[in-house]
Structures are given as C-alpha cells and as structure tokens.
Amino acid sequence: MIWPDITVVIVTYNRPEEIRKTINALHNHIKYSGQINWLVADDGSDGTYASDLIKDYTGIGLQVVITNRGGWGKNVNNAFKMVDTDYVFLCEDDYVSKYPLDLDTGVTLMQEEPTIGLVRYDGVGEHLLDLSLNTVESSQGKIAYALLRNTSSTLHIYSNRPHLCHKRFHQYYGAYPERQ
C-alpha cells in the first residue's frame, strides 16, 4: 500500500509549555507508515511564541500559521487552507497523548469505507450516542469501528477531540463556524 501524507494540525493560543508536551507526546505516540507534516494553528499569541516553536522543532519541519485573534473556528479554517494533504489529524494544544495513536488503521478505514470522513481518537464518555458497531475487511486485516448516527440525542455528536479526517468531511459539512 502507498500511504498518503498526513498533516498533524495542533490548535493553540499562548500555551508555550503545554504545546511542547503535546508535540513531543504526539511525535512519540503516532504510528503512521507514511509521511507526517506538522502544522501549528496559532490564534495570534504574543511575542516570539510562533518563531520559538519553529526553531525548537526544525527536526520535524514544523510550520506555524497565525490567525489574528479570530477565534477557534477561524484559526482552524485558516490552518486548513495551508494543508495540501487529504488527511489531517487535528487536536488541541493540551492533548498530551499517553498511548499509541494508530493512524494507519484510521487511513485504511477511510480508504475502505469512503462514506467515512472522520475517525475520532478519544473517548465518547458523557455523550448520549446512537451508533452501530461495524467491521470492514481491509488490507490491514479486520477493522472494527463505531458509526455514529445523526439520531443521537446529544448536541455533541462531533467534538473537537483528537481526530483524523479526510478532506471529504469538510467538503460535505463545510468549514467551521467563525464568530462575526
């Protein structure tokens, strides 16, 4: 299998210590057989925050895109304009991964099931969800997954928890809402 490139997008605003913990943990825990690009979406932090990150993470080729205090939606939409890969792993600057994150399986699932546009990598605790449990046979073996239904009673079917998405997700649902 030829693995497509993935961009890891980390959303931040002025958390110099937290983001370094997050970047280090992701770098150590992401399992992916293809190329990983790194992009920080910064919502206009003061000082040398962005340039310090670029300098500290030259080894992984980290880039930073800056939004001028536009809020979460504008910040993430601005970052997505810079992404030229079909797959994006998105998380916030305070998500310090403690376990392996198998992006190979997520990419394989979305390639085998083209109606799936987003795979969540964090729990679903405290969400009232209507879902089905499914499996798909793939080149990587059998993959089990839960498919959320839009009949779920919670307003939080989607959340901004760590997830891998394909560009078709945003082509279907559109960009994130931005404050006016």
Residue given tokens 């964090």 in the structure block:
122
> What residues form DSSP beta bridges with 164?
89, 119
Q: How far apart are the first and last CA of the chain?
A: 44
What's the pTM value of the predicted model, to 2 decimals?
0.89
Walk me through the domains of the chain, giving residue ranges and CATH numbers: 6-122+156-173 (3.90.550.10)
Mind listing the pLDDT tens digit of every residue in the chain (180 residues)?
Answer: 799 999 999 999 999 999 999 999 999 999 999 999 999 999 999 999 999 999 999 999 999 999 988 899 999 999 999 999 999 999 999 999 999 999 999 999 999 999 898 888 876 666 667 777 888 888 878 888 777 777 766 655 566 789 999 999 888 888 888 887
Cα–Cα separations (whole angstroms), residue 27 to 12, 67, 93, 98: 17, 24, 13, 11
